[in-house]
Structure 1
Amino acid sequence: MPIPQPTNAPAPGQSDLFGLPAVVPATPQPDTTRIARVQLEGAAAMELDYTIPASLAEGVVVGSRVMVPLQNRQMVAVVLELLNESSHRGRLKEISSIVARRPMFTPALLRLARWIADYYLVSVHTVLRTMLPQAVRDKPGSFVMDSHLKLLRDPSPAELEKLMNKAPMQARVLEILRSCQGEATLSQIRRDVPRAATILKPLIKAGWITRSEVRVERDPFQEEVFLPSQPLTLTAEQQVAYDRISAAIDSAQPSKPILLHGITGSGKTEVYLQAIARVLERGGTALVLVPEIALTPQTIERFKARFSDRSDRIAVLHSHLSDGERHDEWFKIHEDRADIVIGARSAIFAPLERLGIIIVDEEHEPSFKQDETPRYHARDVAVVRGGIEKCVVLLGSATPSLESFENAGSGKYELLEMLQRTDGRTLPLIRIVDMRMERRKGTGVSIVNAGILSEKLRAAITARLEKREQTILFLNRRGFNTSLSCITCGETVQCQDCSIPMTLHKHENRLVCHVCGSRRLPPSKCPSCQEPGLKFSGFGTERVETAVREVFPQARIARVDTDTIQRKNQLRDLLRDFRAQKLDLLIGTQMIAKGLDFPNVTLVGVLNADLALNLPDFRAAERTLQLLVQVAGRAGRGEVKGEVVVQTYAPHSPAVQFSRHNDFAGFAQQELEQRRAFHYPPYTHVVILASRGKHQAMAEFALKTLHRRLLEGLSEEVLMGDPAPCAMAKAHGQYRFQLLLRTPKIRPLCRHIQQVLQSTSLPADVIVTWDVDPVSLL
């Protein structure tokens, strides 16, 4: 998919490359009646003009959040532009106050917001709400305060003894302060002296200590200790990549986005670390995006260890933080107290200034795509922000998305490759097991017949346990059994609100829908024919854990999926136990499939490798190959050569065969030829229009109406299908239909869609959504 590349910022009054007016602060004028164009937040999402009173003239700048009057109410708004004139001059109200003295949005982020709004067909108001975490938006400045105590003079032994006899608790406070080099917080004192607040008064009056209020950071890693690490010696391939990235960092001219295609274990993270060090030397800041929460603890550990001298200037943003932690981490960035930001998708909006580099690790991951409005892709937004900020954008992956790979091949991106593992380590040996043949063997072992563990995988696990080496088993499906069907009529028990089979979770004896989350007891009779013969089939990670514990009762086993990871830091602690070799075998979903580095893992078993191959999505083969290569890359990262056993019912699939030989380039060439022939990305853009509603006929009618209206004036370049039920025809009690459009030029199509949506009246109980450049057609 061609991704637009921003150029230098336009001069004031000009439009930028994306057809949007440049957000440039106007030159300050002494006139106190200057005007601010603001974007209202809340339900009344409009752009309005207000005059700036003289008392606020210096504080109101582009990006400020302000309070403005609207119909006898006070509303929060964001200043988009400063103007000298307005067509409504003389009728304008004044801005009431400023929410925060420091602007909440930089001019670059406002330009980015306009681009996102234009490209993804949403309002600027919606984008600005997304850019600010809710904890910051709702309660800005809600910091935790504590008292800072300082010892003014050190008591002599005689004074301390006298005070001990007269007021032992006061003496204890002085002893604690002495042990803390004369300074401590009230919360620290309270650990030993519960009524410390009242005991402090006579000490302050006597001139022993002073007390002042300080802000306490809610740091999610304040209890952690990180041992410093030193830069590693780069391999020849790493050095070439680093030199080119450094040249781009040092260059005064904006560079193309750089795609770093490095196989698993080739040392991409070390290149990231040294590139960031280069940026910090030049006084810049760095933004690192990772796709999975599971990767965040290990990534943070590496960064805190490498940049130990400034570990307090590393900020973290992801959804597993508490509201308070996210609030404080965001303000840490906002107040320029952070040089490095690490986070998931939404961290792309971190208010960093002096950006020197944006790194998107595992850039191919679909989790970088937001599945709610605005449906932005963080990787593409990173490319655009890099162009606006004139900084280096580094996309890294062992299995790049075909969009990025084609952009590199066509010259839009610069391609750097690292095709050798560090320290001369070899890629793991990958063995393909045809599970059709396993079933025909009839060995009599129930677990083998169930299709969970092949004989080859079971023998390999046994060998690893004997050698005290570790194993990872991967299956991207939760639960015990994946379906329950009637042996008489063949009916499958489905969720009443979603058109998918319900999954048995045995530990709670419930059938669970993995879409809407509804739960019910397993029926004793078929809901359709009322016959008692019901059969469970399929398996998920819960069933795999039960089977593995049965076969290997002596093994120390843990399971990682959203059913087992419930409390905060549980995943971090479990992965640390696995790294410390307190566990022998780890079973999990895609939470453990990528990015993690465990040197003692020498075996990876992939169960049901072709699970996603038959999905009705043109990216099914690409996703399967990416997942297989990423999972296989967890093996053999230490001194011992690794082995991967891939169990599949489609051993001759190109995705399986190319992953076996780690031949991403060969797969990409074959897949891209098919994409070109059938007009799919990266050679076209895709837009999905979808309708959903409780009444099937109305949802279908709405989409057919849009289809008919879209045909009027539609460019001949656009390929538009017919309205059809989604692959999951019903979800959350609503019927779903979709319309697929493909075009080589996205903007004219988006404008046409926007005009049709604005001019078409749709049923009130039907919701219509649109997704530009979707990553899934399901």
Structure 2
Amino acid sequence: MPAARVLIDGPSELVFDYAIPDGLPVLAGCRVRVPLRNKTSTGTVLAVTDHAPADLGFALRPLHSLTDPEPLLTPKLLELARWIADYYACSIESVVRVLLPEAVRTEENAAKTRKAVVLTQLPDEETLDQLAKRAPKQHTILTLLRHVPEQQMPLTDLGNAAGTSVKALVAKGFVQLIDQQVRRDPDADGVDEILPTRDLPLSEEQQTSLDAILSSLETDGGSLASPPSPTRPFLLHGVTGSGKTEVYLQAARHVLEAGRTVLVLVPEISLTPQTVRRFRARFAHIQDQVAVLHSNLSQGERFDEWHRIRKGKARIVIGARSAVFAPLPDLGLILVDEEHENSYKQDQVPRYHGRDVAVLRAHLEGATVVLGSATPSLESWQNALDQKYQLLRLTHRADGQSLPLIRVIDMRLESKKQKSKDTFLSDRLRSAIDDRLAKNEQTILFLNRRGFARSLQCPACGHVCQCPHCAIALTYHRTDDRLICHICGHQAVVPRKCPECKDPSIILQGFGTQKVEDVFHKVFPSARIARIDADALRKKNALRDLLNAFRARKIDLLIGTQMIAKGLHFPNVTLVGILNADIGLHVPDFRAGERVFQLLTQVAGRAGRGSLEGEVIVQTFTPHSPSIQFARHHDFDGFADQELEMRRQFGYPPFARCALLTVRSTHERRAEFTLQTLHRRLKEALPPGIELGEPLPSPLVKAHGQFRFQLILRGPKARALTRHVQQVLDKTPLPEDVTAVFDMDALSFT
């Protein structure tokens, strides 16, 4: 009898074999009901075999039934899941739980329905006249149904008192009550109307890029109807404002016209509304076929969007990292916008990279993948230099405007002039903002640190209020009047005197977006100021509403964290101020310089995107840093050349694969000893070419109440690293309260 291996739903990764009863069409990827102890559970079929294992010694229990007649996971998605499990050294069960989100797996979620009245038979004119005299409500209902699309209406739209009249019409055979499925639209409460747009004229560089993408999409005879053979991924390197999105839109149109589907990945949820708006405006005739997937959706919204995608009702999917697993049929094109962003890397098991998974999925599905960025990751850039990716370049802005002028302000001189350590507003930036306010132009201010002050410190004894669970200072948030840890979320009451020496002169140190907003309200009293960060966007759709207000010029000055650093297009923004360019520059990470360069270039690109010239003012205490100087001159090639040479000399990615092994526990010595033991065993049978680092405390040695120790592994091939570490971990029993985490292609080393 054939058998199925089933992943049981629930927090634990239980996998059991079950016999498949005769006549039950079970395939890999199906959802099934199975017996588990004395109850019935649901699960996902991972694999189907012709015969049960011969050495069991007992008969397998049979499956009960299918929850859905068709597999929810296609063979290509299951193949992708197996690759992720092997490459990132995680269980296939953890990957399947990402492919099938909880909203889909949980039987508590279902399609939302409402009662609707359908006209089944229209009475003759004589009967209608009699109803108009004797039962005017019944006559009104029939008249309404005659003139609405599909001759049906929701029962609630007929009024609270319509129930009795409808029952009478049902008894007479004129109408019928049905259950009508209702889509829970994530954008249902949007107030702004989307106006249709048309394809824009392309520059020569844009047309060349589009032609290259379309040529990869075409098959024999120039038809897109059948899946083509896999092609090289495209790296679309275009300066900010060069019109990459227009290339995306026109490529997507060709794919849709051929009957295939499009997947668009964006790095931040904050970019999703704008991208959705652009695609819905361009494809206004099929607006209802655009689906959205991201973590801010409710369970019901995610359920509806996922099933719309699977059933082919949505042909364009836009979403963040996990949308790479959207069950799109006939996938033709994958667009990865801002491909360099770290947010594409999952920080929990399975620790996959959305960009890399997108490249592999395109290969498996026979689709074309386009990676776009003004500041490509050095890994993607090196792949283009090695001819693994096909490089497309947009070197000029689409509107013909020049890139914004970037001025660097040395804050060491400003601090001396203003006699303050925490100054964050230079004279040059202040006068530039005044000038924009006078001209009714808009300004964006960027500071990648939320909160009011970064710490609370006693000047008498030097005590700093620390998080009891993490090795980090608590940040003061004025809105909540609380000290909050940005790692674990711990909150504490603000002390009125030092907890150590009882000195009442305890003071706030540093500044965050809340303090900047507070000070700027005083410095620019007539300006309309708003703030965008995680604290200001706790309500659903708050981000969309703020960006719409800024687009409508109801806000003069927008202060924000990295949420506003990329992808946003506001033509009236002529000034961008970067309040502290040094944040992130001096952290113990070989990618620190690359990240700062990317962030500065992306933020600077928000200025001058309309008919007016833009200006960027960068405030820094390290003005001679290569990251800042190359960003100042918009010189990606120069930065990449010197950075790649450094990486080559020291054996860092992209010239080697890098992995991180972290051990954590609530007991410091136990975590340290466990990592030392693993280090010794890894060293014993170390494959040639792999470099094993020393076990050391993590830069953030304590987080969420656990002590953390780590070691870095580097080697020419990822699979060799993964398999060696996996073999050692499988053979090494860990203490009950110790956890080992392996992160292949790690992006964070803190």
Same fold (TM over 0.5): yes
Is contact 2:446-2:562 (8 Å) kept? yes
Letter paired with 2:239 = I
Partners of 2:163 and 2:668 lie apart in 1 by: 65
**Shift of residue 164, structure 1, vs aligned partner:** 6.3
Match of 1:642 in 2: 614
Partners of 1:259 and 1:659 lie apart in 2 by: 20
**Shift of residue 530, structure 1, vs aligned partner:** 3.0
SS in 2 for 1:488: coil
| Bigger mean CA deviation after superposition, 181-190 or 98-107 | 181-190
Q: What are the residue-to-residue correspondences of 1:499-510 with 2, within 5 Å?
A: 499-510=471-482
SS in 1 for 2:160: coil
Match of 1:762 in 2: 734
Of residues 84, 103, 118, the one that matches 1:135 is: 103
Match of 2:494 in 1: 522
**Shift of residue 220, structure 1, vs aligned partner:** 1.6
Match of 1:214 in 2: 180
Partners of 1:169 and 1:204 lie apart in 2 by: 14
Match of 1:276 in 2: 252
Q: Show CA shifts across 1:290-339 (max 9, x none).
A: 01111000100010111111111111101111110100000001112111
**1:95 and 2:71 matched:** no
**1:106 and 2:74 matched:** yes
Match of 1:414 in 2: 390
The gaps in structure 2 that reach 5 residues or longer are: 220-227
Q: Aligned pair in 2 of structure 1 residues 91, 675: CA closer, same or farther (>3 Å)? A: same
Q: What are the residue-to-residue correspondences of 1:351-370 with 2, within 5 Å?
A: 351-370=327-346
Of residues 729, 733, 741, the one that matches 2:705 is: 733
Partners of 2:126 and 2:433 lie apart in 1 by: 69
Match of 1:291 in 2: 267
Partners of 2:579 and 2:349 lie apart in 1 by: 35
Partners of 1:79 and 1:262 lie apart in 2 by: 44
Q: Show CA shifts across 1:588-631 (max 9, x none).
A: 11111110100111111011011110111111111101110110
**1:77 and 2:43 matched:** yes
Q: What are the residue-to-residue correspondences of 1:251-330 with 2, within 5 Å?
A: 251=219, 252-330=228-306
The CA RMSD over aligned residues, in Å, is 2.1
Match of 1:7 in 2: none
SS in 2 for 1:599: coil
Letter paired with 1:242 = L
Q: What are the residue-to-residue correspondences of 1:666-681 with 2, within 5 Å?
A: 666-681=638-653
Is contact 1:609-1:648 (8 Å) kept? yes
Letter paired with 2:628 = V
Of residues 110, 117, 120, the one that matches 1:149 is: 117
Q: Aligned pair in 2 of structure 1 residues 436, 106: CA closer, same or farther (>3 Å)? A: same
**1:549 and 2:521 matched:** yes
Partners of 2:587 and 2:183 lie apart in 1 by: 46
Of residues 377, 384, 387, the one that matches 1:401 is: 377
Letter paired with 1:317 = L
Q: Show CA shifts across 1:184-212 (max 9, x none).
A: 4325515xx12433431012223443322
Of residues 162, 168, 183, the one that matches 2:151 is: 183
Task: Report the TM-score, using the length of structure 1 for normalisation.
Answer: 0.91
Match of 1:20 in 2: none
Of residues 531, 536, 541, the one that matches 1:559 is: 531
| Bigger mean CA deviation after superposition, 113-122 or 527-536 | 527-536
**Shift of residue 449, structure 1, vs aligned partner:** 6.8
SS in 2 for 1:54: coil
**Shift of residue 691, structure 1, vs aligned partner:** 1.3
Q: Show CA shifts across 1:117-154 (max 9, x none).
A: 00111111111011111111112761111223234566
Partners of 2:125 and 2:442 lie apart in 1 by: 58
Q: Show CA shifts across 1:72-105 (max 9, x none).
A: 5434333334433444399343322101112110
Is contact 2:261-2:330 (8 Å) kept? yes
Match of 1:695 in 2: 667
Match of 1:11 in 2: none
Is contact 1:186-1:196 (8 Å) kept? no
Partners of 1:64 and 1:615 lie apart in 2 by: 47
Partners of 1:618 and 1:518 lie apart in 2 by: 30
Match of 2:167 in 1: 201
**Shift of residue 168, structure 1, vs aligned partner:** 5.3
Letter paired with 1:363 = E
The gaps in structure 1 that reach 5 residues or longer are: 1-32
Q: What are the residue-to-residue correspondences of 1:694-713 with 2, within 5 Å?
A: 694-713=666-685
Number of aligned pairs? 738
| Bigger mean CA deviation after superposition, 402-411 or 247-256 | 247-256
Letter paired with 2:362 = G
**Shift of residue 181, structure 1, vs aligned partner:** 4.8
Partners of 1:559 and 1:163 lie apart in 2 by: 60
Letter paired with 1:517 = G
Partners of 1:618 and 1:133 lie apart in 2 by: 34
Is contact 2:2-2:49 (8 Å) kept? yes
Letter paired with 1:554 = S
Match of 1:64 in 2: 30
Q: What are the residue-to-residue correspondences of 1:472-551 with 2, within 5 Å?
A: 472-551=444-523
Partners of 1:323 and 1:514 lie apart in 2 by: 26
Q: Show CA shifts across 1:404-458 (max 9, x none).
A: 111111111111111110021111111111111112224x8xxx87412111111
Q: Show CA shifts across 1:648-685 (max 9, x none).
A: 11110000000011111110111111111111111111
Is contact 2:109-2:300 (8 Å) kept? no
Partners of 1:411 and 1:593 lie apart in 2 by: 30
Is contact 1:146-1:185 (8 Å) kept? no
Is contact 1:173-1:189 (8 Å) kept? no
Partners of 2:177 and 2:306 lie apart in 1 by: 28
Q: What are the residue-to-residue correspondences of 1:618-629 with 2, within 5 Å?
A: 618-629=590-601
Is contact 2:399-2:610 (8 Å) kept? no
Partners of 1:629 and 1:407 lie apart in 2 by: 21
Match of 1:122 in 2: 90
Is contact 1:485-1:534 (8 Å) kept? yes
Partners of 2:132 and 2:533 lie apart in 1 by: 56
SS in 2 for 1:459: helix
Task: Report the TM-score, using the length of structure 2 for normalisation.
Answer: 0.94
Partners of 1:169 and 1:293 lie apart in 2 by: 48
SS in 2 for 1:507: coil
Is contact 1:430-1:646 (8 Å) kept? yes
Q: Aligned pair in 2 of structure 1 residues 482, 37: CA closer, same or farther (>3 Å)? A: closer
Partners of 1:155 and 1:83 lie apart in 2 by: 59
**1:386 and 2:362 matched:** yes
Q: Aligned pair in 2 of structure 1 residues 168, 551: CA closer, same or farther (>3 Å)? A: farther
Match of 2:222 in 1: none
| Bigger mean CA deviation after superposition, 515-524 or 579-588 | 515-524
Match of 1:345 in 2: 321
Is contact 1:386-1:393 (8 Å) kept? yes
Partners of 1:127 and 1:159 lie apart in 2 by: 62
Identity between Structure 1 and Structure 2 (%)? 52
Q: Aligned pair in 2 of structure 1 residues 88, 490: CA closer, same or farther (>3 Å)? A: same
**Shift of residue 520, structure 1, vs aligned partner:** 1.4
| Bigger mean CA deviation after superposition, 622-631 or 64-73 | 64-73
Partners of 2:346 and 2:139 lie apart in 1 by: 57
Q: Show CA shifts across 1:232-264 (max 9, x none).
A: 111100000000000111143311111111111
Q: Aligned pair in 2 of structure 1 residues 44, 646: CA closer, same or farther (>3 Å)? A: closer
